[in-house]
Amino acid sequence: MSSPDPLPFDLRVLVEDAEKVIRPVGAYLLSQRVSESDIEVKSLNSLVSHVDKTAEAELVSGLSALVPEAGFLAEEGTAGDVNQARFRWVIDPLDGTTNLIHGLPVFCVSVALVDGDTPILGVVFDPNRDECFTAWKNGGAHLNGERIHCSSKEALSDALIATGFPHWDFERMPEYLEALTGFAKGSRGLRRMGSAAIDLAYVACGRFDAFFEYSLQPWDIAAGLILVSEAGGSTSGFMGQTEPGFMLSGKEVLAASQGVFAESSEVIRSAFG
């Protein structure tokens, strides 16, 4: 849980400084071409390359200077085991590695600062579209400096839903397919981008009305959670869990605008309950 102690920094200023660190990393991602010989397989369908590792090292270096007392929870482990501090940067240097490898221009840099298990700052930078989504606690959500909000749709039948296909954990595949069927029949359509951070950012700015996925990691969703929250949306686990530790785990997430959250929850509960 978040400490009641006051924050030792100005979140608005910190977001601006973090963006200055993150944007050059996004530009680096755009400049790289990855061949099959560059790829390492961490586990089933979990890929990494020198691009991920170099980008993460740059993020760790730059962000360390902004909040020296903060630890890190980073996908590629560049910062080592330093994630026991009150404040931690939760970073994914390249969310959408498989897309990058296949030449699909849907990937981003995702960075969050958490206080305990609660995200208090989030940045998702999509270098392909030069779109930088930012949010900080009680400061709202923004896209390239302009305030954004979740959609105003009131019915699931008018909604566009995003998801991520299971790619290594198939134990809940029957339930997932049932939920997929429910949304396919009950909504305007479904999309799969291949980057949970972008999916959540798109919920925050109203391009998607809801997003659901399971078996994610903290670095996939930490920034997106605060983006959706500060944009006026709701997030929970599939059975309605909202505890910060559970949400940050990435075990499962449903994020939606206020108008379609209840109906989306009904579809998810029917399938996974």
Whether 135 and 43 map to the same domain: the answer is: yes
pLDDT at residue number 167? 82
Whether 131 and 22 map to the same domain: the answer is: yes
pLDDT at residue number 261? 98
pLDDT at residue number 83? 53
pLDDT at residue number 236? 98
- The model's pTM is 0.93
Q: How many domains does the chain have?
A: 2
pLDDT at residue number 35? 62
Whether 47 and 104 map to the same domain: the answer is: yes
- C-beta neighbour count of 198 within 10 angstroms: 28
**Residue 255, domain extent:** 156-272
Whether 130 and 206 map to the same domain: the answer is: no
What is the domain-level CATH number for residue 200?
A: 3.40.190.80
pLDDT at residue number 38? 64
Whether 114 and 217 map to the same domain: the answer is: no
pLDDT at residue number 185? 98
Whether 52 and 169 map to the same domain: the answer is: no
pLDDT at residue number 29? 93
pLDDT at residue number 52? 84
Last residue of a domain, one of 89, 124, 148: 148
Residue 152 and residue 259 in contact, taking contact as beta carbons nearer than 8 Å: yes
pLDDT at residue number 13? 98
pLDDT by residue for the chain (273 residues), tens digit each?
A: 445 578 999 999 999 999 999 999 999 999 987 766 666 765 444 555 788 889 999 999 999 999 999 999 998 776 655 557 999 999 999 999 889 888 899 999 999 999 999 999 999 999 999 999 999 999 999 999 999 999 999 999 999 999 999 988 999 999 999 999 999 999 999 999 999 999 999 999 999 999 999 999 999 999 999 999 999 999 999 999 999 999 999 999 999 999 999 999 999 999 999
3-state secondary structure the chain: CCCCCCCCCCHHHHHHHHHHHHHHHHHHHHHCCCCHHHCEEEECCEEECHHHHHHHHHHHHHHHHHCCCCEEEECCCCCCCCCCCCEEEEEEEEECHHHHHCCCCCCEEEEEEEECCEEEEEEEEECCCCEEEEEECCCEEEECCEEECCCCCCCHHHCEEEECCCCCCCCCHHHHHHHHHHHHHHCCEEECCCCHHHHHHHHHCCCCCEEEEECCCHHHHHHHHHHHHHCCCEEECCCCCCCHHHHHHCCEEEEECHHHHHHHHHHHHHHHC
